[in-house]
Amino acid sequence: MEITVASSSFTLQNPSCAVDIESAATSFRKQNTPKTPLPKINCRYSPSSALGAGNDGGPDSVPRHHGKSQSHVAFENTSTSIAASQMRNHLNKLSDTVSDEQEKKLFETEMDNFFALFRRYLNDKAKGSTLDWDRIAPPAEGQVVDYNDLANSESVSFLNKLAVLKLNGGLGTSMGCVGPKSVIEVRDGMSFLDLSVRQIEYLNRTYSVNVPFVLMNSFNTDSDTENIIKKYEGHSIDIMTFNQSRYPRVLKDSLLPVPKSFDSSITDWYPPGHGDVFESLYNSGILDKLIARGVEIVFLSNVDNLGAVVDLRILQHMVETKSEYIMELTDKTKADVKGGTIIDYDGSVRLLEIAQVPKEHVNEFKSIKKFKYFNTNNIWLNLEAVKRVVMNNELEMEIIPNNKSIPADKKGESDVSIVQLETAVGAAIRHFKNAHGVNVPRRRFLPVKTCSDLLLVKSDLYSLKHGQLQIDPTRFGPAPLIKLGTDFKKVSDFQKHIPSIPKILELDHLTITGAVNLGRGVTFKGTVIIVATEGSTIDIPPGSILENVVVQGSLRLLEH
């Protein structure tokens, strides 16, 4: 095969280098009654094993009040009470549209939990409350433990106390895929789910244990996931599933629920973030089933974090320190400055997200010197403690209002502005005893959020062993920073432009934008920037070695 350069207008160069609204909530059903586990459970077992039969008001919960006139406060007090009362009435009407009694009971529990969240949101909004920045400090001694200081015995006896839980509620739409994100192929023909199953299966086989694998699905992913996991029925692994809550989206202007009935369109509902795992794990009955089985600890992580594998040292540390909650942290880099960080707030350990930071302190929040760590969302939880805080209604995680819009029903009408009230599992850290962070190596945080991440995990930088990605021992320094442009946003486009993954063992930084196609056997080293100008295409020839270069303009290769 001969290759002809059809166009060579390109350059190759070195880079320069409370308000009280109880009166509005008198009809809030069953708010103070004991919680009872509900029976709707999805479980799958291997034949090898069947399962056995508010805030404390402490100083860390006191917000800063911005000055408001008495008339302003009175107005907001009235508005908040009305909004809460109207929401409660509409939720009751939604419940009346459920015909099946068992389904209605489940739905009412969800709506009661949603109303409690909505009511707190109104309170917070009326107060104009924020964290008092002067009371925020970097974590104190003992609030973060270094991974290298943990005991290195790696006792396997604690594996019998463990379950692994993956957050599996997300879709693959951000990467242009249909269905659950967990089924996207990431390495050697295997999906996120395949890799997780292989890891736990290897663990069970190697140590003669039976660590259960639990998936928290959403209403978006449950049906597909149930069909997909059937292929694992012959494997030595127990797979259990449950659904996180389905909450109604809220109209931003009227603060009323979007859905008109229980069977309203799927677009009228939303999964309320992974902070919902506590309530959903309890209400599904899975929590009690795990405890009855002898499981004491659950290791929770995002399904797309390929670095989140079971670690015996952290497991042993949790058991021996009797900690109820451990958050894995890793050192911040310039790419992580917006990630949530662990802080000391009046002597209490808490999670601080960038959305909670006053504008004048955002740069301070991003400072690697003051806040050195960020949350990987690898969380270790004591199940008895989870049961306690749920039953006692102790969880009051910070609410994250997520503003979105949904398409109008009729052409010519503007989109409808809505708000989703969400919570994060990391925000629950302050509600558990002896909760702290462990500063772990970067290898335990390997998320795949974009096709840039996909290129990294598919490359020669990593090898696959028993479902775990292991970085090449000859690699020096952290993983390279890879930025692919919008032409590579969808997996299908990524595969079209990069049919063969380049070698990047010695790469530090890669940026590719525009219509760029990579040939087979391409190698990148150092810093490589490739920019195809608008209306142009750059074809990188097969076998090319690019090291510390900028490629810009247009370059077409024709086969003949």
For residue 108, which phi and psi values (nearest 5 degrees)? Answer: -65, -35
Task: Report the distance separating Cα 346 and Cα 59, nearest Å.
Answer: 7
Alpha carbon of 335 to those of 220, 245, 530, 550: distances in Å? Answer: 30, 32, 20, 22
**Nearest to 97, CA basis, from 300, 259, 272:** 259
Q: Which two tokens stand for residue 29?
A: 């059903």
Return the half-sphere exposure (C-beta side, CA atoms, 13 A cut-off) of residue 402: 12
**Alpha-carbon gap, residue 150 to 333, rounded angstroms:** 23
* Both tokens assigned to 188: 């050697």
Structure tokens at 176: 């242009």
- Please list the residues that pair with 468 across neighbouring strands: 465
Pairing of strands 185-187, 136-137: unpaired
The span from the CA of 458 to the CA of 479, in Å, is: 13
DSSP β-ladder status, 297-302 and 162-168: parallel
Q: Is 449 a catalytic residue?
A: yes
* Residues found in the chain: 560
Residue whose pair of structure tokens reads 């402490």 in the numeric block: 58
- Round to whole Å and give the CA distance between 289 and 16: 60
| C-alpha dihedral sign at 489, 492, 493, 495 | positive
Host H or E run for residue 325: strand 325-331
3-state class (DSSP) for residue 374: strand
Task: Give SS3 for 188.
Answer: coil
Contact in structure between 71 and 79 (CB atoms under 8 Å): no
SS3 124: helix
Place of tokens 């690699």: 475
Strand order in the sheet with 250-251: 250-251, 416-422, 400-406
Answer yes or no: are the C-beta atoms of 290 and 298 closer than 8 Å: yes
Q: Which of 35, 260, 449, 489 is catalytic?
A: 449
Helix (H, G, I), strand (E, B) or coil at 326: strand
Strand 144-146 with 436-439, pairing: parallel
Element (H, E) at 480: none
Helix 70-96, helix 101-127: angle, nearest 10: 170
Tell me which residues are annotated as active site: 449
